[in-house]
A = this chain, B = another copy of it.
């Protein structure tokens, strides 16, 4: 996941992050809309469909874009990659920008497919200490899985991340956003997967605290592991 081919030009890498993150949001927001419409009011059934669709799409998207850009699709992932010395710091902002812009575009495409207004603002309240703890745990887990699976093949790592996120939709109280770009984009949809703009900063704060925790841990370990 932290692959960073120096031979691929940054422009092409950022293009891959842009398209990959757009597809990720099409999957998250789109399946949320369909699940909510079709599930007859049963939120459990809707979340089951939303989680399965996100997990399946994530597996395919990671495999497709990993060779080009590492398929981060997540500023927290990019930050930890830089912190642990596997990614150039100067490329963090371009990556994060491509991820956020792609995420917003993907949300809008989902709206277009489902005949909704393109521009929306979410009214879905997601706040409180439990949810913030959930975002911290969800992000620590995601970053830990990515780090722990870096030694396996790309398909294995992709399967691990997809399985983890599919599970984390259920086992965290926040349905596991675990991604600042995704969080920003989901504030722009007033559907199943939305989050009120007012609740975004705390979510991103928890996610970045998790990134810092994992990043510091990796930096502390680095001197011992790689002399």
A40 and B44 contact, CB distance less than 8 A: yes
Determine whether A115 belongs to the interface, using a CB cutoff of 8 Å to chain B.
yes
How far is the CB of A214 from the nearest CB of chain B, in Å? 12
Copy number in the complex reads 4
A64 and B167 contact, CB distance less than 8 A: no
Given contacts A64-B160, A115-B128, contact A39 B50 (CB under 8 A): no
Determine whether A57 belongs to the interface, using a CB cutoff of 8 Å to chain B.
yes
Determine whether A155 belongs to the interface, using a CB cutoff of 8 Å to chain B.
yes
**Complex interface: chain B residues within 8 A of A137 (CB):** 26, 109, 113
Among residues of B, the one whose C-beta sits closest to the C-beta of A169 is B53
B57 and A171 contact, CB distance less than 8 A: yes
CA distance A83 to B34 in the complex (A): 34
Q: Which of B56, B133, B147 contacts A167 (CB 8 A)?
A: B56
| A contact residues, range | 35 or more
Determine whether A65 belongs to the interface, using a CB cutoff of 8 Å to chain B.
yes
Given contacts A149-B64, A167-B57, contact A46 B44 (CB under 8 A): yes
CA distance A44 to B46 in the complex (A): 7
Determine whether A184 belongs to the interface, using a CB cutoff of 8 Å to chain B.
no
Encoded as 1 (CB less than 8 Å from any B CB) or 0, chain A from 133 to 176 comes to: 11001000100110111011111100111111011111111100
B35 and A170 contact, CB distance less than 8 A: yes
**Complex interface: chain B residues within 8 A of A28 (CB):** 171
Given contacts A67-B151, A160-B59, contact A170 B113 (CB under 8 A): no
Determine whether A60 belongs to the interface, using a CB cutoff of 8 Å to chain B.
yes
Among residues of B, the one whose C-beta sits closest to the C-beta of A110 is B171
In A65-113, the 8 Å CB interface with B consists of 65, 67, 109-110, 112-113
